[in-house]
């Protein structure tokens, strides 16, 4: 859009310049009044041809020929630019929508973000950093365009409608984030998502405790209340500033290239059956194991070096992005 506006602006400037020069020429050469000169310039440039207001001298006729050449050229250029812009906007939108639809149709094991407000934007940035496929759904045209300008795959639609969720292929999606503006809409999205795909993992935003409990009852896997979480973090920042700084550093990684990830241990994993000391994750991979979520659901925090890694476990690990990507690739390769 900025390029289109720039193009139209340049054409408009060219038309104005020709009109001003023509007006000044008629006033100087033929001694026209300002009104007569402007009128003569416009009728000549637009090829209306009402005739000369006053008979032109030979010098005036020569000048008029120059005005006709440049003025008509400028007007044709303006008309062509406007037509080209209209076609470009209309067909550009159509091509962009078709391209977006093709990309959505190819999504597999992706994530769906319903709502592109402050919570949705934060979720999208985290998804982008993690390198996973996702699509944003928002009923606002402005927010949808903002998401697309940010480089995200987005569609303008009502996420509370089943056909919308089917359109972004919820049946083959891995997870969904309900981050709409109201608790009622988020509750409806959770219900619809679980109905359309009972295996999908759904997390939702809730404004109050009552909505939080309702979302859990209809199948949400995790619910977060931003105001409650913010209050807790503010208190932690005041009471335990160093602990707060560590968790903020570990979860946002704004100052260093450090992330926390979870790794699923499959039956063919090179880590299965080994102890932490035998895995040498810290010494060779430069990765710290913060916890092990055992296959039975128990969480083993700060595991000892003798702790066994078994099939079905999930490792909660922390490290720099490059070693983590290498480890994730090896684990994913084992799973394949």
Between CA 88 and CA 90 the distance in angstroms is: 6
Q: Tell me the pLDDT of the chain averaged across its residues.
A: 85
Q: Does domain 257-335 have CATH number 3.30.70.1450?
A: yes
pLDDT score of 304 more than 70? yes
Q: Does domain 2-102 have CATH number 1.10.260.40?
A: no
Q: Taking the CA of residue 139 as centre, how many other CA atoms within 13 Å lie in the half-sphere pointing to its CB?
A: 10
Angle at 170 between CA 196 and CA 216, to 5 degrees: 60
Tell me whether residue 168 is exposed, middle or buried, using C-beta atoms within 10 angstroms of its C-beta: 0 to 12, 13 to 18, 19 or more: buried
pLDDT band at 250 (very low <50, low <70, confident <90, very high): low
Tell me whether residue 172 is exposed, middle or buried, using C-beta atoms within 10 angstroms of its C-beta: 0 to 12, 13 to 18, 19 or more: exposed
3-state secondary structure of 320: strand
pLDDT score of 255 more than 80? no
pLDDT score of 185 more than 80? yes
What percentage of the chain exceeds 90 in pLDDT? 29
Domain ranges of the chain: 2-102, 108-224, 257-335
The partner residues of 222 in beta bridges, in order of sequence, read: 203
- The reported pLDDT for the residue numbered 36 is 86
- The reported pLDDT for the residue numbered 176 is 97
pLDDT, average across residues 287-315: 88
pLDDT score of 49 more than 80? no
pLDDT, average across residues 137-165: 93
Assess contact for 184 and 208: CB atoms under 8 A.
no
- The reported pLDDT for the residue numbered 153 is 93
Assess contact for 57 and 28: CB atoms under 8 A.
no
pLDDT band at 270 (very low <50, low <70, confident <90, very high): confident
Residue whose entry in the numeric block shows the structure tokens 């039956």: 267
pTM of the model: 0.61
Please give the CATH architecture assigned to the domain spanning 108-224: 3-Layer(aba) Sandwich (3.40)
Please give the DSSP secondary-structure letter assigned to residue 171.
Answer: G
- The reported pLDDT for the residue numbered 137 is 96
């Amino acid at each position: 859009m900025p390029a289109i506006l720039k193009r139209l602006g340049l054409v408009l400037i060219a038309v104005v310049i020709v009109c001003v020069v023509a007006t000044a020429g008629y006033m100087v050469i033929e001694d026209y009044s300002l009104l007569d000169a402007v009128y003569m310039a416009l009728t000549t440039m637009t090829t209306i041809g009402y005739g000369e207001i006053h008979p032109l001298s030979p010098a005036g006729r020569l000048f008029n020929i120059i005005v006709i050449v440049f003025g008509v050229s400028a007007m044709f250029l303006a008309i062509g630019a406007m037509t080209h812009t209209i076609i470009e906007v209309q067909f550009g939108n159509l091509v962009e929508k078709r391209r977006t639809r093709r990309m959505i149709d190819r999504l597999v094991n992706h994530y769906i973000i319903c709502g592109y407000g402050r919570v949705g934007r934060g979720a999208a940035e985290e998804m982008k950093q993690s390198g996973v496929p996702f699509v944003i759904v928002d009923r606002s045209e402005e927010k949808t365009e903002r998401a697309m300008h940010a480089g995200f795959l987005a569609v303008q639609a009502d996420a509370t409608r089943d056909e919308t969720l089917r359109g972004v292929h919820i049946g083959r999606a891995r997870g969904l984030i309900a981050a709409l503006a109201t608790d009622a809409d988020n509750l409806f999205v959770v219900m619809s998502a679980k109905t359309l795909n009972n295996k999908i993992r759904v997390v939702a935003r809730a404004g109050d405790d009552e909505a939080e409990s309702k979302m859990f009852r209809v199948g949400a896997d995790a619910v977060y209340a931003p105001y409650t979480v913010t209050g807790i973090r503010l208190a932690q920042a005041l009471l335990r500033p160093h602990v707060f700084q560590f968790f903020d550093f570990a979860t946002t990684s704004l100052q260093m290239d450090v992330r926390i990830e979870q790794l699923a241990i499959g039956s063919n994993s090179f880590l299965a059956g080994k102890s932490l000391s035998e895995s040498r994750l810290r010494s060779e991979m430069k990765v710290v194991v913060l916890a092990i979520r055992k296959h039975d659901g128990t969480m083993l925090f700060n595991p000892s070096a003798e702790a066994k890694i078994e099939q079905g476990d999930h490792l909660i690990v922390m490290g720099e992005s490059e070693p983590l990507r290498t480890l994730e690739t090896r684990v994913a390769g084992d799973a394949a």
